[in-house]
């Protein structure tokens, strides 16, 4: 049988123009899922040749082919041959999808090709084949619809059955038992389809969005990276701006999915009295799904704190590479400003601040904030500041980064009214460690200019007074001992104004309003802590009773 099939395949390869590939496609799909390794390998080799010889004629059978091929990509070395052939089939099939598929209308198909098996048929019929039935015993007429087929496959106009492909890919993503390589292949397919056929793919985005968000909790970093690529493409594709692709236009969305909401524009949300605090990203490459992504990502972090602790920084840093870093921080800060869970808001702000200060991916954004030369950078600072107020120490560090030393000193003066906890002192300790890092080299050099940076020195002394006698206290104390005597640092040229004063005077930021906002947010946190403490005390009393 193996020899006969081999000879048959040779003849097909010699005369591909006279072969009715489509009529045999379903038979191969079924036997590519056979339990017997030899049968599966033979069918997979035939499938590889069919895809390479027939080309786009095989596209209408893509969902059935993927159902058979994708699980094989996670095979171990015991089935190495099947895995390698399946990988070639997968890559070859992916190359058949072209941008023109995004424009083709299924109603304009020039001819009817044999119907491909549904997902259920593809999964059920291999059981009959592997239970001992021969090929002749199968109902071949049920698999093939006879038709008059052109001799040359090049003249056939086919249409990509995107709905069937997305159904198979979605099914595999929901299956937690599939291997890592299969999950990566599924995400590569989704990314490829969003690149080649974005208009049609955005019809499926609302149904795919929840599972793509859940995939961020995958154990594999490679899977998460591919998942982020897909989400980033969804969030930045111009096709996402089309009016007809909004959530309300999708009539066949499955029930039970999380509804995705787009926040109102920040201009509508901000109080009328604020100045220069527009908080919505304005980069034209970002579409409406970008905001949905940011909202639902923060919701995911809020409901799954372990994900935030273990992968939060990794996910945000990768997104800053894939998307616009300023937009990410701008939008997250805007969303956190209205976060009702104050404890989560404080934790999230601390995470974002650490990424902002330490990640190489955000070097350009740090430089933009360091000088505050443009209106955009000042608006970004104000937006970040208002959310950073959820965490007092991160607010001070943001002021250090932006060289707002007087305001940093004013904030530290307010710390005397706050509840000083162990967590608070730990964050001050970490800030002192950060000041000694390369990121704040410019700040340490400014300590030489005592005359023009008095509030920087006062702010650092304020942090020193907050700290107990610890290693961080000794570190900062030694640094401040290195500050030179101002009389020894005097120069003859006193007419030239310092750069820091010129920048501060040009910034036009209402620091009084920002300071009032800081106090307001901290009062909310204090009330929330007291409420939590009261609930804990009531619970203790119930336990005692």
* Residue in 489, 409, 499 with CA at minimum distance from that of residue 451: 489
pTM of full prediction above 0.85: no
Terminal-residue alpha carbon distance, the chain: 80
At residue 540, the pLDDT reads 66
Three-state SS at 492:
coil
Q: Helices 305-322 & 342-358, crossing angle to 10 degrees? A: 40
At residue 115, the pLDDT reads 47
DSSP state at residue 474: H
- Give yes or no for a contact between 400 and 443, defined as CB atoms under 8 angstroms apart: yes
* DSSP conformation letters of 355-413: HHHH-GGGHHHHHHHHH--SHHHHHHHHHHHHHHTTSHHHHHHHHHHTT-HHHHHHHHH
- Measured CA to CA, the distance from residue 388 to residue 375 in angstroms comes to 20
Q: Residue 344: count other Cβ atoms within 10 Å of its Cβ.
A: 18
DSSP state at residue 112: P
DSSP state at residue 275: S
Paired tokens of 337: 């400003």
Burial class of residue 512 in the structure, from the number of CB atoms within 10 Å of its CB (0-12 exposed, 13-18 middle, 19+ buried): exposed
Cα-Cα-Cα-Cα dihedral of 6, 7, 8, 12, to 10°? 100
* DSSP conformation letters of 139-207: -HHHH-------S-GGG------HHHHHHHHHHHHH-TTS-HHHHHHHHHHHHHHHHH-HHHHTTSHHH
Tens of pLDDT along the chain (545 residues) come to 989 999 999 999 998 888 889 889 999 999 999 999 999 999 999 999 999 999 999 999 999 999 999 999 999 989 999 999 999 999 999 999 999 888 765 445 444 444 444 444 444 443 333 333 433 333 433 333 333 334 443 445 677 889 999 999 999 999 989 999 999 999 999 999 999 999 999 999 999 999 999 999 999 999 999 999 999 999 998 887 744 444 433 333 333 333 333 333 333 333 333 333 333 443 434 678 899 999 999 999 999 999 999 999 999 999 999 999 999 999 999 999 999 999 999 999 999 999 999 998 899 999 999 988 889 999 999 999 999 999 999 999 999 999 999 999 999 999 988 888 898 999 999 999 999 999 999 999 999 988 899 999 999 999 999 999 889 999 999 999 998 887 665 655 554 455 544 454 445 788 888 888 988 888 888 888 878 777 776 776 666 65
At residue 248, the pLDDT reads 37
């Amino acid at each position: 049988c193996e020899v006969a099939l081999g000879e048959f395949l040779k003849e097909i390869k010699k005369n591909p123009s006279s072969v009715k590939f489509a009529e045999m496609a379903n038979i191969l799909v079924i036997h590519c899922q056979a339990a017997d390794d030899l049968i599966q390998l033979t069918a997979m080799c035939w499938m590889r040749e069919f895809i390479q010889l027939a080309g786009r004629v095989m596209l209408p059978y893509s969902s059935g082919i993927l159902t058979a091929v994708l699980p094989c990509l996670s095979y171990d070395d015991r089935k190495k041959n099947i895995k390698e052939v399946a990988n070639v089939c997968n890559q070859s099939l992916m190359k058949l999808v072209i941008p023109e598929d995004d424009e083709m209308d299924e109603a304009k198909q020039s001819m009817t090709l044999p119907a491909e098996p549904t997902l259920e048929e593809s999964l059920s019929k291999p059981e009959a084949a592997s239970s001992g039935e021969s090929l002749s015993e199968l109902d071949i007429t049920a698999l093939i619809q006879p038709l008059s087929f052109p001799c040359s496959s090049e003249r056939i106009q086919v249409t990509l059955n995107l709905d069937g492909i997305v159904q198979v890919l979605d099914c595999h993503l929901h299956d937690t038992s599939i291997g890592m390589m299969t999950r990566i292949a599924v995400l590569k397919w989704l990314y490829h389809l969003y690149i080649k056929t974005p208009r049609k793919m955005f019809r499926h985005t609302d149904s795919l969005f929840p599972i793509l968000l859940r995939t961020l909790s995958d154990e594999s970093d490679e899977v998460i990276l591919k998942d982020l690529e897909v989400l980033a493409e969804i969030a930045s594709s111009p096709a996402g701006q089309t009016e007809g692709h909004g959530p309300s236009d999708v009539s066949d969305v499955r029930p039970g999915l999380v509804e995705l909401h787009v926040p109102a524009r920040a201009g509508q949300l901000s109080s009328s009295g604020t100045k220069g605090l527009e908080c919505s990203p304005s980069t034209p490459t970002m579409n409406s799904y970008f905001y949905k992504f940011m909202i639902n990502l923060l919701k995911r972090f809020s409901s799954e704190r372990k994900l935030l602790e273990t992968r939060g920084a990794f996910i945000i840093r990768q997104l800053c590479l894939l998307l616009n870093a300023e937009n990410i921080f701008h939008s997250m800060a805007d969303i956190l400003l209205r976060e009702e869970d104050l404890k989560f808001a404080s934790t999230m702000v601390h995470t974002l601040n650490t990424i902002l200060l330490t990640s190489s991916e955000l070097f350009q954004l740090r430089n933009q904030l360091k000088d505050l030369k443009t209106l955009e950078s000042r608006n970004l600072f104000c937006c970040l500041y208002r959310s950073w107020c959820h965490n007092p120490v991160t607010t001070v560090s943001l002021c250090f980064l932006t060289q707002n030393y007087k305001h940093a000193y004013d904030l530290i003066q307010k710390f005397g009214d706050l509840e000083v906890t162990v967590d608070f002192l730990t964050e001050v300790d970490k800030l002192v460690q950060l000041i000694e890092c390369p990121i704040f080299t410019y700040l340490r050099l400014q300590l030489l200019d005592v005359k023009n940076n008095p509030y920087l020195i006062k702010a650092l002394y304020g942090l020193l007074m907050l700290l107990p006698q610890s290693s961080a206290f000794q570190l900062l104390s030694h640094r401040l001992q290195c500050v030179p005597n101002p009389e020894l640092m005097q120069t003859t040229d006193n007419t030239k104004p310092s750069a820091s004063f010129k920048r501060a005077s040009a910034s036009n930021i209402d620091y009084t309003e920002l300071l009032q906002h800081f106090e307001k947010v901290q009062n909310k946190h204090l009330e929330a802590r007291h409420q939590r403490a009261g609930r804990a005390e009531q619970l203790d009393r119930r336990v005692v009773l």
